[in-house]
Structure 1
Amino acid sequence: MRRLAAAVAVALILLTVGSRADADQTAAGFSTSYQRIPGADGISLGAVVLTPTGQGDGPFPLVVMPSSWGVPNVEYVGQGTKLATAGFQVIAYSSRGFWDSGGGIDIAGPPTVADVTKVIDWADQHTPADTSRVAAVGISYGAGTSLLASAQDPRIKAVGAMSGWADLIASLDPNDTVALQSVAGLLALGNITGRPGPEMASLQTKFVTGDFDGAIAEAGQLAPQRSAATMVDQINANHPAVFLANAFEDSIFPPSQYTAFFTRLTGPKRLLLAHGDHATPEVTGAIGLPNETWDELTAWLRHYLTGADNGADTAAPVQLKSQRGVWRGYPSWAAVGQSRTSYLTKPAGLSRTGALQPQSSTGWTSGIAAGVPTIADSGVALVSGALQGLLSIPTGVATPLVDRSFAGVWSGPVRSRPVQLS
């Protein structure tokens, strides 16, 4: 697979960037090469290297881009060409264990994080990069890796983490409930596009045999060193400018764990939330198409790596996009709005449906059997969230048909006029 992936990478690079560097040696452009970069523990990483041309001899600020789970290094070539043309040295590489990179998939373990540092070291010796001005940028798996690397390498002055995680357990086991579709999909994709390492193989065995408690217990032991939320003190000490972006309906990494992490950051920070499912708000930008998230991130990198006076440091730290396409800015996550508590009443009547009310209701109990699915679910991972976020098609549930033997149902009053949620 590694040789095939390398051949595919080179072919896609040629198709994507053409001969831009040769067209006009005096205009701002870039040169492109495929490189094998030594990673941690002696493995090698397949990388696409984009070097600015027609923009002087450098040194240029460096942007390191670890790939998403199951995606090769060409994932970022479209956006990488824009960054290189704008004067950034870019290295996009396939994450450890996937495609043309060596090693096994360790679920963002220490070797995967150390690979970022090894790529920076290689760039210092083989490219006109200024390794005192480095950004780590990625989507999904690459986002989590970038955040973790910023805790370990003080040369990283900016982070762009889109559709990633800060708390691995809160993402894949929200409310102590395994995200079955997400976990199954990630495991399948990892086996198709890569080589599971010992950690992934062990978790996978427990998961496919139905030992969810064992899998979560083991994941709980692995999660702290794979979660930026547990390393927030180190990140704050290194003081990188952290740019976070996610989708409201993300079915793999719910945004709630990002907002909690964002609140704890003390350095320059920005949080963008838009509607859609996992990676849908920024995936078009990765391949080079117009994209609001990437535009904001590029301005962020320009300011914090080159000192550009573009207002990136004065814009509202929290930006939320409505389904009508309107962005609203807030000075903090707390300013978005306060939560409101509703209290449950005892399910009653033939429908066994309870009510939601502002006052507490005590002195009653109600029970259901557990472990049996009903039609009340969140839909299909990646699909339902995208339909709801991008086309305003919500996940439909016929409430009267929900089996009350295995589910509790409570219903609030019908609203006669629109209500602003945030």
Structure 2
Amino acid sequence: MKTTPLLGLLGGALLSFQCLAAPQFIPDLDITTFDGTELDANLFVPDSAPPPGGYPTVLFTNSWVLDKNEYLLQAEALAEDGYLVMSYSTRGFGKSGGLVDVAGDNSIRDTRVLIDWLEANYPVGKLALSGISYGAGISLLTAAADPRVDAVAALSGWADVVEALYPNETVNLVWGSLLVNTAFHREPVVDNVWSDLRNGVNIDGVREFGAARSALAMVDALNDNGTAVLISNNFADYLFKPNSMTDLYTLLEGPKKLLLNPGTHAITEFLGGNNGHIWQTTFRWFDRYLRGAANGIDSEPRVDMTVRIDNRLEQFQDFPVTDQRQQWYLHPRYGYLDSGDLKGYPYGGWSWRNEFHGGADTRAGTGIPLVSDALEGLGIPVYTNMLGINGYHAIEYHSPIQWRKMRIRGTPSLELWIRPSKPDVQLHLHLYDTDMLGLGRLVTHAPITLRGLEVGQEQRVEVDFFTTSYDLPAGHFLSLAIDTEGLLYQKLDDRNYTVEIPYRGSRVSRLSVPVL
């Protein structure tokens, strides 16, 4: 059969038109949910016919304060690749009605209604939920409640609400206040819970509120549903720390992948996603578990960990990424102007004790709240002058100079013996990379508030630091600094107390650091 030049030209034109055809964009959909509330949504419909079994479908949920337009770029790119994509504003945000309930029953029912609407109006195939921050939490909770959800990509999300706002029984004041005060249309229960937490009352009620909104409490349902779960969190996210999400990851039994990145809460995703890695991996996750694409993501190492500061990507088979731990034992200082030591063997000298006092912050800290966390994602860490830390209000310990690079990967922990002068004390623990001039670079930290202690009695405290990935350079040493206040966290009402650290054979305090 011969083809005339004219027919060839027309065919080429039609082919070019088909390649340039854009998906249909339907903005400002008003969808009525179960209680009559109107939810505002966008929809992208592919220009191609649905494949057998229906369109692979993605439902995006907004971050806190933001709305349905947050994911326009990602939604359009997916739709151009044949996905049916909806993004919406959760109740209380954007143009949606209703009140914010912090991923409560109403919000989860809303998401399920939107799935119903998609299935009633379009040929929906396999379906994924995704979102950043608030959207990540709602995605995980809906997937636990609804077996129709085949995959989730939870970015900068949480697995435990209480761990986020009350880490180690310490009120996360800056982040909590920011969240509550930016939800202008919120249910009264949100203010009640935050007030209880701030005032240290009805903590059992706070924990009950949190458990109903925490994927860790629903991991069995995720496993029963066989949901393919992608988790991405950031090392300097001091709202939704990586720790509870790594706990969730270890309990998942279905397809799973974990991304751990530099940067703070949600900023890494908004600024391109760790040099594009987060969003590229998310799209590959959808392709594999919604379209069945043999792209290899299911056979690759399941943990992608990017080293802080130099942003080097490393891959590991699972989390924890190493079973090897460097043990450092705390040895005493001999004056307020002195520092203690971190040594590779327990203290065995004369019985000794050190003390430091509450009532003031010191140079040991996490930097300027929110600002320093954001800069960390750009490779600008928190620095402090270790020589300027006030020895009356803090204590610090230094390891010997490390002549080989120390590759810290995972969750450091501290076992610390203390003798408090009051029943309630607060400790802020910081690990630093310190150079020969005494300039320290923050590696990780953790707060802990201890209540109801036996005054004047020696007792052991165990604390996990926030998960990190950091290379301590050769020629530097590891430093541990402990004080009693931090800019991110709510202070105790009574700050006039003393903490003693005893040293003897039966009172061994130890720092444990995961290393490669």
TM-score, length-scaled by structure 2: 0.70
Aligned equivalent of 2:127: 134
Q: 1:298 to 1:203 in 2, by over 3 A?
A: same
Q: Whole-Å Cα distance in 2 between the matches of residues 158 and 57 of structure 1?
A: 19
Does structure 2 retain, via aligned residues, the 8 Å contact 1:29–1:54? no
Provide Cα deviations, 1:220-256, integer angstroms capped at 9, x if missing partner.
2211111101111111110111001111211211111
Aligned equivalent of 2:117: 122
List aligned pairs for 1:26-175, cutoff 5 A.
Answer: 27=20, 29-33=22-26, 34-56=28-50, 59-130=54-125, 133-175=126-168
What amino acid does structure 1 have at the position aligned with 2:281?
E
What amino acid does structure 1 have at the position aligned with 2:240?
F
Query: Aligned with 2:238: secondary structure?
Result: coil
Query: Which of 250, 255, 264 lines up with 1:263 in the alignment?
Result: 250
- Identity between Structure 1 and Structure 2 (%): 33
Does structure 1 retain, via aligned residues, the 8 Å contact 2:180–2:191? no
Aligned equivalent of 1:400: 387
Provide Cα deviations, 1:189-241, integer angstroms capped at 9, x if missing partner.
223xxx1112212134456xx52x23755432211111101111111110111
Query: Aligned with 1:42: secondary structure?
Result: coil
Does structure 1 retain, via aligned residues, the 8 Å contact 2:38–2:97? yes
Aligned equivalent of 1:386: 374
Q: Whole-Å Cα distance in 1 between the matches of residues 204 and 371 of structure 2?
A: 29
Write 1 or 2 for the structure with the bigger share of helix. Answer: 1
Q: Whole-Å Cα distance in 2 between the matches of residues 244 and 417 of structure 1?
A: 32
Q: 1:47 to 1:303 in 2, by over 3 A?
A: same
Does structure 1 retain, via aligned residues, the 8 Å contact 2:48–2:82? no
Q: 1:314 to 1:229 in 2, by over 3 A?
A: same
Number of aligned residue pairs: 389
Which has the greater radius of gyration?
2
Q: 1:327 to 1:366 in 2, by over 3 A?
A: same
List aligned pairs for 1:226-245, cutoff 5 A.
Answer: 226-245=213-232
Q: Whole-Å Cα distance in 1 between the matches of residues 243 and 48 of structure 2?
A: 44
- TM-aligned CA deviation for residue 25 of structure 1: 5.8
Query: Aligned with 1:46: secondary structure?
Result: strand
What amino acid does structure 2 have at the position aligned with 1:117?
R
Does structure 1 retain, via aligned residues, the 8 Å contact 2:152–2:227? yes
Q: Whole-Å Cα distance in 2 between the matches of residues 67 and 86 of structure 1?
A: 22
Q: Whole-Å Cα distance in 2 between the matches of residues 421 and 251 of structure 1?
A: 19
The answer to whether 1:291 aligns with 2:279 is: no
What amino acid does structure 2 have at the position aligned with 1:114?
R
Provide Cα deviations, 1:70-120, integer angstroms capped at 9, x if missing partner.
111100111100111111111111122112112111111121122211110
Q: 1:336 to 1:382 in 2, by over 3 A?
A: farther
Q: Whole-Å Cα distance in 2 between the matches of residues 273 and 100 of structure 1?
A: 33
Q: 1:338 to 1:150 in 2, by over 3 A?
A: farther
Provide Cα deviations, 1:332-384, integer angstroms capped at 9, x if missing partner.
11334534332222232242532212323374444444464333221233321
- TM-aligned CA deviation for residue 167 of structure 1: 1.3
Aligned equivalent of 2:293: 308
Does structure 2 retain, via aligned residues, the 8 Å contact 1:173–1:216? no
Does structure 2 retain, via aligned residues, the 8 Å contact 1:38–1:44? yes
Q: Whole-Å Cα distance in 2 between the matches of residues 402 and 232 of structure 1?
A: 43
- TM-aligned CA deviation for residue 418 of structure 1: 2.5
Query: Which of 340, 345, 353 lines up with 1:359 in the alignment?
Result: 345
RMSD: 2.4
Q: Whole-Å Cα distance in 1 between the matches of residues 249 and 102 of structure 2?
A: 22
Does structure 2 retain, via aligned residues, the 8 Å contact 1:108–1:144? yes
Does structure 2 retain, via aligned residues, the 8 Å contact 1:62–1:89? yes
Does structure 1 retain, via aligned residues, the 8 Å contact 2:143–2:227? yes
- TM-aligned CA deviation for residue 186 of structure 1: 1.4
- TM-aligned CA deviation for residue 400 of structure 1: 3.1
Q: Whole-Å Cα distance in 2 between the matches of residues 227 and 183 of structure 1?
A: 16
Query: Which of 186, 192, 197 lines up with 2:187 in the alignment?
Result: 197
Q: Whole-Å Cα distance in 2 between the matches of residues 341 and 180 of structure 1?
A: 32
Q: Whole-Å Cα distance in 1 between the matches of residues 35 and 325 of structure 2?
A: 47
Write 1 or 2 for the structure with the bigger share of strand. Answer: 2
Q: Whole-Å Cα distance in 2 between the matches of residues 243 and 26 of structure 1?
A: 31
Query: Which of 411, 416, 422 lines up with 2:398 in the alignment?
Result: 411
Does structure 1 retain, via aligned residues, the 8 Å contact 2:262–2:311? no
TM-score, length-scaled by structure 1: 0.85
Query: Aligned with 1:356: secondary structure?
Result: strand
